[in-house]
Structure 1
């Protein structure tokens, strides 16, 4: 008698086999013949379905963030100079320089500047902040 049997071991099917085991065996038997149908298509379907399922969750996240950023009490708005105590507009801040004319005039004004004659200046650092000098 040889050390190993020549027959391959196969599990005997019994009445006690569950439906899951039967489906698993059927799936494993058909997977090598049709790999895209039994593996690729379900995979792509799950990815696309998850994308549609997670879209509302992502929208809720951004809406919640927007609500958090937009909420401001009247006192905070007054302190920042956005609105007065009665709700009217607060301090109007003037911009540094207004653009006068149209875009072409502004373009030619900027082009007339001498960009070759400039001097590099270091920015003053805060106390204890490294300035990058060795």
Structure 2
């Protein structure tokens, strides 16, 4: 039997001598130490960022919802002043039936499809 040679050489691409400038970078040192202490160098910073971000985002989210509530309250005050008088209010069972029959009486079969006027220079979509 002969000696079987490996398809890949066993030599390392980058030798691990301390004089090599590629092994003395911060990233290389971090990579070496990560295999020895994975939780300390990866897990702990990850958990710290996740928990810290949740504490930092809580006030931001609360501020967002408070602004939304202010807008809703402002609209309610505008409606109180009478700006929304053009809308019909429907309440009660009899009123619901009346509204249903009013909408059902509309002729939905007789309508005409009209194109919207385009702005000058805008493509109208016709072939």
Higher helix share: 2
TM-score by length of structure 2 reads: 0.48
